[in-house]
Structure formats: structure tokens, C-alpha cells
Structure 1
Amino acid sequence: MLTLQQATKLTLQLYNMTIIDISTLPSYIDQNFLVVDKDDTKYVLKIMNSEESENDSRLEVQTLAMSFLNQHGIPCQTAMLTTTGQLMHMEEIDCGQGAQTYYVRLMNYLPGKTIAESLITVQDFYQVGKLAAVIDTTMQQYVSPNLHLLKGNQRWSLSNIPLIEGYLSVMDGDPLQEVIKAVIKQYESHVIPKIGSFRKGIIHGDMNDHNILVTPVDNGRHEVSGVLDFSFLMIDCYVFEVAVVIAYMMLENPSPLDVGGAVLAGWESVTVLSDEEKDSLFLLVLGRLCQSLVYGRYNAIKYPDNDKYILSTAKSGTRLLNKLWEMGKKDVERKWFTDASTFSDK
């Protein structure tokens, strides 16, 4: 882990910035620092994890995508140029376990609190669903010679739910393991045959409750003030985006079953899902919860210093997965689809 002193020195060296305050920010497996300069302007210094730092072209595609969306009115972070005019810089850093190379970016700071920290209304979830669809349809215009790097079998893609089986030993002794095995089995028989018919494009891939910032407006509602973390940006199925948003927006919500219909209605105000996509939504949502719980436990073992943050969704995720599984596809979908069809953007 980088110390505050190392981060301060790095920021001065790369950006010639005089820092008056610096502190750590939570992150899954990267390192983030909140930096305040002499003009009282806030920035986020982001040190990418060593694995992602191995693919500089992919990181560049993600960084430029954020700027592209920002230019289209979507509140995303943009990277500051280094003193030598680079959007990101590779730095060899010794974090206590020998020197390794990491990519460093300094991003502008976006205001607001995460959805995980906020009391969100169903109208807010409608807006989040709509924004997810706007992001994905806007990205259809994004051009880069390296777009092919966004293809491929990423572990977190919802097309790769069966890969969870290779990590299931981390759930040994946990009764949830049997539920996860059953979800995988149903996914293989009900979803895999349909995937070929799903529409594809560039998706954010990880619009979770920690990656969306909101600020209060009126009547208890919020507006999205920031969309963070484009490290899962990928060419994948649009319905996967809907499923990811629903899964994570339910996690900390006191009425999780009210979330799906609002998100779906927001999404479909921009682009409508096909019958095959809708029919797969329940198992895709469950699949994402399974991924989050299994990979979360695996990464907590791999990164023990950050296990508290990595496992922050484990308790509510376990409860939610059990609840949805017990209710079953038919009842959950009836609730979601009925809510979506009667939802009005008040």
C-alpha cells in the first residue's frame, strides 16, 4: 500500500501540484487518494492495481471513454494531464513488497455521496436505470482503434457465470454454496441458449451502489452527480447492464423488491428489452449476486488488508440472494414487470 507521503511526492512530481491536504479513499483493489491543492480544488489520485496496470492500451480506452461521456453531458471523471502531457503515467513503486509498476491517474473530484450511503427513492432508481441506458446508447458513437480490447471473456461478465464454479471452494461449509450451484445450473439451461440473441455494445459493466454518486434535490429525491470506475468497461450484452444495476441497487435498500421495476422502467424509457432478454433477467441478477459473493470472498483472501471494504456487501448480498431464490423466478418477475409497466416518472 502506498503511504500518504509517497502519494504526496508522486502528485508533486507528476503534476507539479502543491498539496495542502491528502487522505485515503475506499477502493476495491486499487488505491485512491483525495488530494486538495493550494486553490482548494479537489482531485482523486488513482493508483491502478498491478494486474490492470499490465494493459496500458485498455486503460487508455477506459480513460478516453470517460472524457467522451463527459463531453456528452454525463457526469464522469476526467484525467488531468501530467507535466509531460500524459493522461496516465507508469510508475515503479515499492509498496513494501518490492518494486512493481502501476499506472497512475489524477482525476477531477465529483461531488455527492454514493448510493450506498444515501436514502434513495424509487424515482431515483428510475433515473439510474435511464442513465445506464443513456450511457450505453451514447457509447455506440465511441470510436477507438483499441475497441477490440473491450471484448473477451472477463471473469465478471455475466456471460461467464459458470466460471464461479472454479472459485466455489471459498464457500465450503456455507449453506449458500448449494444455492449458488443451483443458480449456475439454471443459468446454464435457461440463459446460455438465449445469449446469442441478446443485443450487444459497450457497457459500463459495474454500475454498483458505490460507483454512482448522488446529490439531494427536492422531496427526498436525488440526481446523479457522478458515475465512477470504468475498469469493467466491456463489449457485452445490454441486458447484463440492467441486471447489474438491479442487483446492486437492491443490496442496501430496505424494500429491495421495489427496485427492479423502477430500474427496468427507466432503462426502457430509452431502449426496450426483448422478450428473451426479459425472460433471463431474474437469473442474470442472481448470477451477479453470486459473482459478487464468491469473488468477494476470494479477493478478501487475496487482499486481506482491504477485506472489510471488499466484503461490505456480503451480509446483505447473502440475505438478498436467499430471499430471491426462495421467492422464485415467477413471483419476482411478476413484481418487477408489473411495477415497470405501471411506473410513471413523476
Structure 2
Amino acid sequence: MNSNCKRPEVTIEMASSLVEKYFNVKVTKVTEANGYDDRNFIITIEKELVNHGNQFVLKVTNPIDSADQGLIEAVTDVSLYVNHKEGIESPVPMINVNGNYVERIELESKQICAVRLMKYIDGIVLEKIDYDADILYEIGSVVGRLSLIMKNYTNPILDKREMLWSLLSVDKLDEYLFAIENDGHRLLVHNIIEKFKEIVINKVSTLRKSIIHGDVNEQNVLVKKEDGKWTFSGLLDFGDSHSDPTIFDLAIACCYMTLDSRVIDPIMVPKYVIYGYLSVEKITQQEWDILPICVMARLSQSLTLGAYNHLKDPNNEYLLKTGKRGWTILEQLNSVGVDQLKILWQI
């Protein structure tokens, strides 16, 4: 996600034309899906492609990330790498008529954007179900498997990538607090920023690092029902992949899983995600010590940057999704406190 750009100006008609031109297929249906700073379209084609079916996702990346030399190719490589590993299905890009996974094109708006067509993964986004302890445990185990998989993966572009959505950029949030209308909310975020700097920043050198997904949220996790039970089916959008402390992926997942929990108390949701993570990967004492404040910091980050980006793009209501329950949950987490959260989430 990028907080300083305008989304690609792409209509449904343009999306259809792009797919037909660059992938030599006949499009029969196009539906726009949610997107933070990119444009995403669900594409249905006339004839099934061998081993790929007839549904795909067209992703048109924002101009700033598209202009970052090699970045889109790097995040595409991560997706391919993860998809080849057992247990985590992720979107596979299709090769276009020019023999590339990624094509940069100039839109009618004069924006130059990277275009990819990804294989559609069957399932629905997690936010649409009433999830229970079992699915939260499974999501935690997926994040744990991802941490294991990425231990041996390196990418020179992602290793040096710096981005505002990295948790290590939380100390930059003060510059965006003006976008938060409520004085109490502004003060809450400021205090969490200060606590994050106090607890986390000085310990970064002691933490394990790897390339992380960076945005395991309730709209990037797909689930499907098997034998009457919801189960994980896919992990979407590696567009925020970068090098950071490995534990940040777990913290990010814990943060977003709280937002749409309608059955389990949101404050207790991370316990089940952590339990699943620990079934496949360890958490060091240093990582455990910083986990609660990292969860709170990510929620602060999402709420603040969501408000800021909505000021620039008021028609994109998706930007305010976190705020619908996020402020209440952040206040509750802060009220419980870091030390007590560690006790509540202890396995």
C-alpha cells in the first residue's frame, strides 16, 4: 500500500480491453473488487484455460509502485515462490502475449501502471464469515508456515525496500495525525507511537528478520467450506512484501483478525492466532515481549493512514473500513495494557 498516490483510473470497459489485448482471450464478465491504492477486477473469460479455469483477477498497480524499478517483478516472484510451497496457495500470475508476467502500460489518464493477470483462487474473503477459534488457529498456522518458508528466501529489492506501511515506520505517523478528526483518538495514537518507540525500536537488532507478507488482513485471507467447516483456501496480495522482523507478520495478522470478530471477543482473538502460529513456528522471548504493542501499533497505523488517504480519495469508502470498529478495539486494547495482554494471550 502506498499513501502518496492516486489510484489508477481504470473503468470496467478498459479492464476488459486490457485483458483481451494482452492475454488474447475473450472476456465475458468484469466485476471490480476492493482495492486500497490499486485497481482489482474479477475477470471471467469465454473459454477455460488448461489448468487455470476461466476466472482471473486483473491487478492494475498504482503509478508510484509501478515506477519503482523491479518492485512489481519482486513481489510477483514472492507469490510464485510461496505458491510452490506446500500448504499456502497464492495467486499465480499469467504470462501475457509478450512473454512477461508484468506489463507496464500508459492508461488514458497518462498514468503508467503495471498490469498483471492472476489466477483466481476459489473461496470468499474471511471478513464475510463469523469466524471461530478453529479458523483463527488455522490462519495463525498459515502465518507460521509462511515464516518458515521465508527463512530461506532472499530478494535484493525487497531486502532494501522502505515503505510507510512497515511497522518500523510507525514513528512517522505523527506527520499524518492531522487527518484524525477526534482529539482523543489523535492523543491515543500519539501515545501508542511513543510506547512503540520505547519498547520496540531499541530491540530491532535482536529480532529475527525475513521477507514478510506485510498485510495479512481479513480481505487478503480466503476461506471455503469443507464438510460443513470453514477452512483456509488462499493468501492474496503480496504487494506489501518487504524485509522486517519476522514477528511483524504475526502482529499484523492478529491486528486485522480482531476487526470483524463477531463471535469471539476481539481482545481474545490474537490468543487463537498465536496458538496456531506456535503449532508450526516458535516465538522468542524478545518477540513475545513486543507482540502486544506491535498489534496496537499496526491498528494505529491502519486507522491513521486510512483517514489520511480518505482525505485525498473521499470516494473510496474502503479506506475507512478499519475505522468502523477499529477505534473501539484500539481503545480496549490500550485500556487492558501491554502487560495484561501478554497474560491474556499466553498459551
Structure 1 position 181, deviation (Å): 1.0
Partners of 1:101 and 1:273 in 2: CA distance: 42
Partners of 2:199 and 2:152 in 1: CA distance: 32
- Determine the structure 1 residue equivalent to 2:331: 322
- Determine the structure 1 residue equivalent to 2:84: 71
Pick the structure with more helix per residue: 1
Check 1:333–1:169 CA distance in 2 against 1; reply closer, same or farther (3 A cut): same
Once the two structures are superposed, the pairs formed by residues 219-230 of structure 1 within 5 Å of their partners are: 221-230=229-238
Structure 1 position 142, deviation (Å): 2.9
TM-score (norm 1): 0.92
Structure 1 position 53, deviation (Å): 0.5
Structure 1 position 79, deviation (Å): 0.5
Once the two structures are superposed, the pairs formed by residues 25-174 of structure 1 within 5 Å of their partners are: 25-39=33-47, 41-73=54-86, 74-94=88-108, 98-143=109-154, 146-174=155-183
- Determine the structure 1 residue equivalent to 2:51: none
Deviations 1:261-311 (A, max 9, x none): 1111111122211112111111111100000000001111122221x1111
Verify the 8 A CA contact 1:33 1:45 in the aligned structure 2. yes
Deviations 1:222-262 (A, max 9, x none): 22111011011011101111110100001111321231111
Moved more, 107-116 or 148-157: 148-157
Partners of 1:142 and 1:192 in 2: CA distance: 24
Check 1:150–1:247 CA distance in 2 against 1; reply closer, same or farther (3 A cut): same
Which of the residues 246, 250, 253 maps onto 1:242?
250
Structure 1 position 86, deviation (Å): 0.6
Verify the 8 A CA contact 2:121 2:234 in the aligned structure 1. yes
SS of equivalent residue, structure 1 residue 44? strand
Verify the 8 A CA contact 2:158 2:241 in the aligned structure 1. no
Deviations 1:11-34 (A, max 9, x none): 111001101111211111110111
Could you tell me which runs of 5 or more consecutive residues in structure 2 were left unpaired when the two chains were aligned: 1-8, 49-53
Moved more, 326-335 or 235-244: 326-335
- Determine the structure 2 residue equivalent to 1:344: none
Once the two structures are superposed, the pairs formed by residues 152-301 of structure 1 within 5 Å of their partners are: 152-218=161-227, 221-254=229-262, 255-301=265-311
SS of equivalent residue, structure 2 residue 342? helix
Structure 1 position 56, deviation (Å): 4.1
Verify the 8 A CA contact 1:243 1:285 in the aligned structure 2. yes
Partners of 2:277 and 2:257 in 1: CA distance: 14
Moved more, 228-237 or 32-41: 32-41
Verify the 8 A CA contact 2:147 2:281 in the aligned structure 1. no
SS of equivalent residue, structure 1 residue 294? helix
Verify the 8 A CA contact 1:31 1:48 in the aligned structure 2. yes
SS of equivalent residue, structure 2 residue 141? helix
SS of equivalent residue, structure 1 residue 316? helix
SS of equivalent residue, structure 2 residue 258? helix
In structure 1, give the amino acid aligned to 2:253.
V
Partners of 2:32 and 2:196 in 1: CA distance: 39
SS of equivalent residue, structure 2 residue 98? coil
Task: Count how many residue pairs are aligned between Structure 1 and Structure 2.
Answer: 331
Partners of 1:25 and 1:185 in 2: CA distance: 36
CA RMSD of aligned residues (A): 1.4
Verify the 8 A CA contact 2:267 2:332 in the aligned structure 1. no
SS of equivalent residue, structure 1 residue 51? helix
Same amino acid, percent of matched pairs: 29
Partners of 2:114 and 2:136 in 1: CA distance: 34
Could you tell me which runs of 5 or more consecutive residues in structure 1 were left unpaired when the two chains were aligned: 342-346
Structure 1 position 151, deviation (Å): 2.5
Partners of 1:14 and 1:231 in 2: CA distance: 21
Verify the 8 A CA contact 2:259 2:266 in the aligned structure 1. yes
Verify the 8 A CA contact 2:74 2:157 in the aligned structure 1. no
Verify the 8 A CA contact 2:70 2:157 in the aligned structure 1. no
Partners of 2:28 and 2:161 in 1: CA distance: 43
Verify the 8 A CA contact 2:209 2:246 in the aligned structure 1. yes
- Determine the structure 1 residue equivalent to 2:6: none
Partners of 2:177 and 2:321 in 1: CA distance: 19
Matched, 1:302 2:308: no
Verify the 8 A CA contact 1:136 1:204 in the aligned structure 2. no
Partners of 2:182 and 2:216 in 1: CA distance: 31
